[in-house]
Amino acid sequence: MFRRRNAATQDAPAEGGPDTAGVASKANGTGPAVTAGKGRPTPKRSEAERARRYTAPGDRKEAMRQARGRDRQARGRKAEAMRRGEEWALPAKDRGPVRALARDYVDSKRRFSEFYMYGLIVLLLLLFLRSPITATVLPAVLIFMIVVMAVEGFYIGRRVVALAAERYPGESTRGVKLYSAMRALQIRKLRFPKPRVKPGEAI
């Protein structure tokens, strides 16, 4: 008698157990609604990050070629940013608001100093003529050019320092006079960083 009761207890599933509930719900169609998936499991965050990472090729030569290509592109972007005058790409001597103001002030006007290089080329060509008049005139012309450039550079430097003190009080103006004078001597198309303002524009 006791054996029959124990066997019946073991054979019968537990009331309300997971097996009967699941079978009943599936058979009746009354189970909880299952949201249709995307057809594939959602990747974990670590897996997605690993997929986005750059994987170096197995070939060493190919890896070096790709590295040189990336370096070349980075140098090109930095050089272009330097030409535009972006602060992060400029060398230390060109950084800061005072240096930017000096460049804009020099570039805002046509000056005698920017034609200095053209004048030197003409003087060098005249030296080959070897005429008495050329030998007499050239030294005087050269001295005149040097005096004009010195006076103009001195004036530009003083003006830039005054503007910097007015617009950027507290900023260092050390070396900005020479910086401005040297930029004024450069041909406009060859100035670096390239001019942001045109001649005659207000700064």
Residue of 8, 7, 31 whose CA lies nearest to 18: 31
Choose the weakest-confidence range: 33-47, 99-113, 142-156: 33-47
CA dihedral 7, 12, 18, 19 (to 10 degrees): 110
- Are 188 and 114 in contact by the 8 Å Cβ rule? The answer is yes
Q: What is the per-residue pLDDT across 31-84, written as a single tens digit (0 to 9) for each? A: 444 444 445 566 566 665 655 555 555 678 877 887 888 878 888 887 887 787
For the chain, what percent of residues have pLDDT higher than 70? 71
The long-range contacts involving 138-145, CB below 8 angstroms and separated by at least 24 positions, are 145/116, 145/119
- Are 103 and 203 in contact by the 8 Å Cβ rule? The answer is no
Q: Could you tell me which residues come within 8 angstroms of residue 194 by beta carbon, excluding any fewer than 6 positions away? A: 83, 84, 85
More confident residue, 73 or 22: 73
> Which pTM does this prediction carry?
0.62
